[in-house]
Structure formats: structure tokens, C-alpha cells
């Protein structure tokens, strides 16, 4: 099952969010007279509009609808689009931190701006220009995300939603910092799971879902059910990402398959492999994972070692357990059947995917 198939019922919501984002960027491009600023805006529009599963907007919308919000309220679409603008910023900054050249099968923003600098024949180092320009472009998306969010009449009437939006942003930044720390001191399973909770689970599912619910006036019981559902499913989502990062096909993921392995990213999958490895397997993991000279043959061996430790199977069990727990929590919340069905479909799409 592809994520597109699983999210077919949410296609209209996705189309509306895409329309809002496209209009947002087209307006700014049309108003901008400086060629350099226009180039940045074009890069941002390309990254935002080409690819992306709109997971955060969808959970925001169905959290809203599940809490009694109107299915046809255009204001919730604008709030959902604000969350996607935040995600665009996070992707740009993440690619700078990881020095990644590809995002969604295309050059990352910092690489695109660096290439543009070279084409202009300007002074200075092109890669440095690209990274600095992308840093500022990501910051712009953060500011725009705040503006779009705060401009919503729904948000102006909900202090609780504003607090949740603040928690979403802080959690994402905290998780990114923990990722840096984990990469520096070596991946431990407890550290990796903490990164999972903050960097992905809270900002991808937990808080978008609760923001939508808060805007619809949800009671504490429903917010609590969404909290459990969002954390468990968000952890399953990131654990699936860890598996895809090592075993995924680049034509589906849109990323270089060797990137994370060469950088020694502190994933739960690798941390689990180290915990389960015998001495010989541990030595091979230490030699291969994090090696800047890792090649495709080495990657194949690394995959075999991880499988042999039993880590791949263990992570799959963790994904299954979290998925089941999330479904149990949301089924107990007494949602309208249509909202429950969509949340279950979204959950299935999050854990059964190849990219």
C-alpha cells in the first residue's frame, strides 16, 4: 500500500493546502522586484510544492474535524498550511546541518543557491553563499509560518492552540539539538528514542493533531486521547523513517542512500543493532557506520549486519506495537466514524510506507 492510496480520502484537503501554499508563494514572487530575492522565493516554492506528504496539515485538519470542526471551514486550511511552512523551514535547516545535497529527489536549497551563485560569476565561495542564503530562507519560512498561523481568526480566539504551536516549534528545535548531540557522542538507544519523540513524533503528529482539536474546542479527554495517539504514532513514523533511511530505495526516498550511514546518524535502528550485536558484529558496525568512505558494497554489508543482529526485526515489532497502541487510544475517544476512519488511514500510511 502506498501513502497515496492510503490517503486517497484526504486528497481534497491536500489539494486545498497545496492551493493555499501555491498562492502564498506566487503572491510574494509577483510582488518581489529584486532578482536575487525572486530566485530564493522560486527555490522555496519548488521545495514546498514538489513532493511532501502533507502529513502535518492532514493531522491538523482531521484533529479539527474529529473534535467537531466544520469539514468546509477554509480557516483550518490556512492553519494547516502554516504548519507546512514550518516544515519547509525545518527541512532547509536540516539539510544545512546534515550537509545533504538532495531533498525530495531534487537539489537541496543550499545546493541550488550555491549553484546559482556560481552561474552569476559572483565573488566568494559558492557553497558558503548557498548555505548562508538557505539559512536565511529557512528563517523567512519560520516568520511566514508564524504570520499565517497568527492571522487566522480561529487562532486569535484560542490561546490553547497558540500554546500548542509554541510547543511544536520548541520540540522540533530541541529534537534537532539532541540529534546533533547524539551524533557527536555515539548513538545509544535511549538517546535515539528521545530524539524520535521530540524531533519527529511531537512536531509531526502530536501537536498538529492537538492544534486542530483545540481550535475546534476539544475537551481535555479528547486532547488526552490525541496526545497518546500522536506520540505513539509519531514514534512509529520516525522508526519507519530509520528503517527507510538504511534499507530504502533512493528512487522512492529522493535521498542519497549513503548519506545518513556516512554521517553516522544516531538512529534507533543502529542503536538497537549495537545493543544486540555480538563482538564481531559490533566491530563491523563500528567500522562501517559513520565511515566517510562507505561505498555501495559496504552499505550492502552494513544492511546484512543489521539484519543479522535482529535489530531490523526488533524495530519492526516496536513499530507494530506503537501503531496498535495509537489505534487503541483513538478508538476509545468516541470520534465520529468518518474522522476515525481517516485517522486510522493516516496511521496506516505512516507506518506502511516506502518513502
Q: Which has the closest alpha carbon to 235: 212, 265, 202, 208?
A: 202
The values of phi and psi at residue 165, to 5°, are -65, -40
CATH number at residue 139: 1.10.600.10
C-alpha distance from residue 38 to each of 25, 44, 129, 137, 350 (Å): 10, 10, 16, 11, 35
Query: Rounded to an integer, what distance in angstroms lies between the CA atom of residue 104 and that of residue 87?
Result: 13
If one counts the domains in the chain, the total is: 1
| pLDDT tens readout for residues 113-151 | 999 999 999 999 999 999 999 999 999 999 999 999 999
* Predicted confidence (pLDDT) per residue in 163-194, tens digit: 999 999 999 999 899 888 877 776 678 888 88
Could you give the count of Cα atoms lying within 13 Å of 27 in the half-sphere of its Cβ? 7
Query: What pLDDT is recorded for position 253?
Result: 61
**Whole-number pLDDT of residue 91:** 95
Are 290 and 264 within 8 A, CB to CB? yes
Under the banding of pLDDT at 50, 70 and 90, the label for residue 9 is: low
| Domain hosting residue 205, numbered range | 3-351
Amino acid at each position: 500500500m502506498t501513502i497515496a492510496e492510503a490517503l486517497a480520502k484526504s486528497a481534497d484537503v491536500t489539494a486545498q493546502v497545496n492551493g493555499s501554499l501555491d498562492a502564498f508563494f506566487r503572491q510574494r514572487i509577483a510582488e518581489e522586484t529584486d532578482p536575487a530575492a525572486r530566485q530564493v522565493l522560486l527555490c522555496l516554492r519548488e521545495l514546498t510544492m514538489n513532493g511532501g506528504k502533507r502529513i502535518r496539515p492532514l493531522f491538523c485538519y482531521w484533529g479539527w474535524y474529529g473534535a467537531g470542526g466544520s469539514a468546509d471551514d477554509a480557516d483550518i486550511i490556512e492553519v494547516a498550511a502554516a504548519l507546512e511552512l514550518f516544515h519547509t523551514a525545518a527541512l532547509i535547516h536540516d539539510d544545512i546541518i546534515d550537509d545533504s545535497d538532495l531533498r525530495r529527489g531534487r537539489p537541496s536549497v543550499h545546493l541550488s543557491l550555491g549553484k546559482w551563485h556560481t552561474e552569476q560569476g559572483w565573488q566568494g565561495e559558492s557553497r558558503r553563499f548557498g548555505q548562508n542564503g538557505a539559512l536565511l530562507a529557512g528563517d523567512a519560512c519560520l516568520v511566514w509560518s508564524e504570520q499565517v498561523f497568527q492571522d487566522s481568526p480561529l487562532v486569535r480566539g484560542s490561546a490553547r492552540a497558540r500554546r500548542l504551536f509554541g510547543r511544536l516549534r520548541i520540540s522540533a528545535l530541541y529534537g534537532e539539538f539532541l540529534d546533533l548531540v547524539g551524533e557527536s557522542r555515539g548513538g545509544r538507544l535511549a538517546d535515539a528514542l528521545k530524539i524520535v519523540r521530540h524531533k519527529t513524533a511531537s512536531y509531526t503528529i502530536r501537536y498538529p493533531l492537538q492544534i486542530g482539536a483545540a481550535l475546534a474546542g476539544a475537551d481535555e479527554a479528547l486532547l488526552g486521547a490525541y496526545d497518546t495517539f500522536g506520540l505513539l504514532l509519531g514514534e512509529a513514523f520516525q522508526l519507519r523513517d530509520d528503517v527507510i533511511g538504511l534499507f530504502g530505495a533512493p528512487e522512492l526516498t529522493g535521498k542519497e542512500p549513503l548519506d545518513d550511514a556516512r554521517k553516522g546518524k544516531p538512529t534507533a535502528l543502529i542503536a538497537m543493532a549495537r545493543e544486540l550485536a555480538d563482538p564481531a558484529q559490533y566491530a563491523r558496525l563500528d567500522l562501517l557506520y559513520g565511515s566517510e568512505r562507505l561505498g555501495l558494497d559496504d552499505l550492502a554489508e552494513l544492511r546484512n549486519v543489521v539484519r543479522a543482529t535482529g535489530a531490523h526485526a526488533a524495530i519492526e515489532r516496536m513499530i507494530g506495537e506503537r501503531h496498535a497502541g495509537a489505534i487503541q487510544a483513538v478508538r476509545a475517544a468516541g470520534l465520529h466514524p468518518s474522522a476515525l476512519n481517516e485517522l486510522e488511514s493516516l496511521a496506516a500510511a505512516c507506518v506502511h510506507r516506502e518513502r
